[in-house]
Amino acid sequence: MGIFVKVGIKLPETITEEELISILKATKLKHHRIAFALGFYQGMRISEIVNLKKENIDKSQRIIRIKDAKGHKDRNLPIAPQVFRGLTSIPIHCGIRALQIAFKKKGKEVLNRDLHFHLLRHSGATHYLKKGWNIREVQQFLGHSRLETTQIYTHVSPQDLMEKMWG
């Protein structure tokens, strides 16, 4: 992954895990909390979240099976510890637009920022890179065919680079 970004290309906005936790704490509805957590920790698209069924979750193997995702691909995701208990709220019985509105409202209320649901996926990818995953692992996790697509989803701040360079 290159560290230089072409001029004029806007990096996707992200939130930190701490900011997500603040949003989750302020969210009363369980199905909204699990949907937000699935977007961040599982890197799931909103359509994958609203279509997730109990039979797609294998708690014994700790796997979520995404069936017929974007590009008609299937993928298996290891269940993040942060979402494991919340999976009892699946299916979430909530539509795409309702989730978009709920997340936007919480983003404004908690962080005073204009956030969109898909940024959870960007943020999760960035979170895992910072935890030490390599770009290929994140690519597979997100279900991208092309590495270039994954690179767009990941955000490396100038501060991150300074910390790497200067320790």
Could you tell me the two tokens for 94?
A: 């909530």
- Collapse the DSSP code of 148 into the 3-class scheme (helix H, G, I; strand E, B; otherwise coil) and give the result: helix
State the catalytic residue, choosing from 121, 122, 127, 155. Answer: 121
> How confident is the prediction along the chain (167 residues), in pLDDT tens digits per residue?
444 445 455 556 899 999 999 999 999 999 999 999 999 999 999 999 999 999 999 999 999 999 876 766 788 999 999 999 999 989 999 999 999 999 999 999 999 999 999 999 999 998 998 898 988 888 888 888 888 878 776 666 556 656 766 66
Please state which CATH number belongs to domain 17-166: 1.10.443.10
Q: Which three-class secondary structure string do you get for 32-97?
A: HHHHHHHHHHCCCCHHHHHCCCHHHEECCCCEEEECCCHHHCCEEEECCHHHHHHHHHCCCCCCHH
State the catalytic residue, choosing from 53, 59, 70, 136. Answer: 70
First and final C-alpha spacing in the chain: 20
Domain boundaries, given as residue ranges, for the chain:
17-166
CA distance 133 to 143: 15
State the catalytic residue, choosing from 65, 67, 75, 118. Answer: 118
Residue 144: active-site member = yes
Vertex 65 angle, CA 152 and 89, to 5°: 100
Residue 146: active-site member = no
Residue 70: active-site member = yes
State the catalytic residue, choosing from 31, 32, 33, 45. Answer: 45
Q: Which helix (H) or strand (E) holds 109?
A: none
> pTM for the complete prediction?
0.84
State the catalytic residue, choosing from 31, 127, 153, 155. Answer: 153
Residue 121: active-site member = yes
